[in-house]
Amino acid sequence: MPSLDDYKGQTPAWCMGCGNYGILNAFKKAVSELGIEPHRLTIVSGIGQAGKFPHYFKCNTFNGLHGRTLPVATGIRLANHDMIVAAVAGDGDCYGEGGNHFMHNIRRNVDITVVVHNNQVYGLTKGQASPTTDLGFKTKVQTEGVIVEPLHPLEMAIALGCGFVARGYSADLEHLSWLITEGIKYNGFSLIDVLQPCVTFNKKNTYEWYSKRVYKVNDDASYNFTDKMAAYKKAAEWDDKIPIGIIFKVDKQAYGEKIGINKEHPIVEEIIENIDIKPLLNDFV
């Protein structure tokens, strides 16, 4: 089994106390306990503080454009279904610029795990409001406070039919590591939205603020995470009580199974040498 040191990458350059550290440590713990060797894992990221995540992790890495994390992760997974693929993105990256890809990858149900670092601000570009920023929150750009309704990613994902919808908290390493483990094991598109305090630019949604509000929904034996309407109602909770855990989970056929590629050897193993393309070109004459 790989140790935590086997995944050690560059030294993180995040602010001291940043919630990203908790996500990084939880992710390492999850893949170590799953016995995933670094060469069997690819992490795709976009732009932002969350986009630096793969630099601090020893594995296959692809850094793409802002908001374009999911198309790359999808391509890698479909080309090599033996590769475990995860996408990491910030709330602005995934839900803002990448919102279209987020929506349609839920529909396709490609077998990738998406971990969203949700700090409710744009942390890389000095703290302006992101798609998930609370109403009334004041920034250097939104000086009178945010007036636009925030996007609710868990409710949106459940409504669109996502088969695995979870929320974690970066200060609870054991619980978040368990969620990431379950997300990777899930056969299909798994969303893990992580509440991640930004100690520099978000002075509202702090560790103290979250710690007074979060509770583990799966500790309640009566909660049925396969009940879509119950899950939607649970996902809508905010302010005084914020549930973390597996909010919704149902089995669904993954995209690779639907199109049949998972039954064959991975596309990346196809022999492409000494191929005569003349017959193909003749079709265009």
* 260 vs 252, higher pLDDT: 252
Secondary structure letter of residue 94 according to DSSP: I
pLDDT for 202:
92
Q: Exposure string (b/e) for 25-56, b if CB count within 10 Å is 16 or more? A: ebbbbbbbebebebeebbbbbbbbbbbbbbeb
CA angle 246/250/255 to nearest 5° reads 115
pLDDT for 40:
95
Q: Against a cut of 0.85, is the pTM above it?
A: yes
8 A C-beta contact, residue 235 and residue 155? yes
On average, the pLDDT of the chain sits at: 93
Structural domain harbouring 170: 4-282
Q: What is the CATH number of the domain that holds 78?
A: 3.40.50.970
pLDDT for 123:
85
Q: What's the domain count of the chain?
A: 1
Q: Helix or strand or coil: residue 121?
A: strand
Question: Residue 27 carries which side chain, given as an amino acid letter?
Answer: F
Alpha helices in 34-138 (DSSP H): 69-79, 91-92, 99-108
pLDDT in tens, 179-213: 999 999 999 999 999 999 999 999 999 999 999 99
For residue 270, is pLDDT > 80?
A: no
8 A C-beta contact, residue 180 and residue 117? no
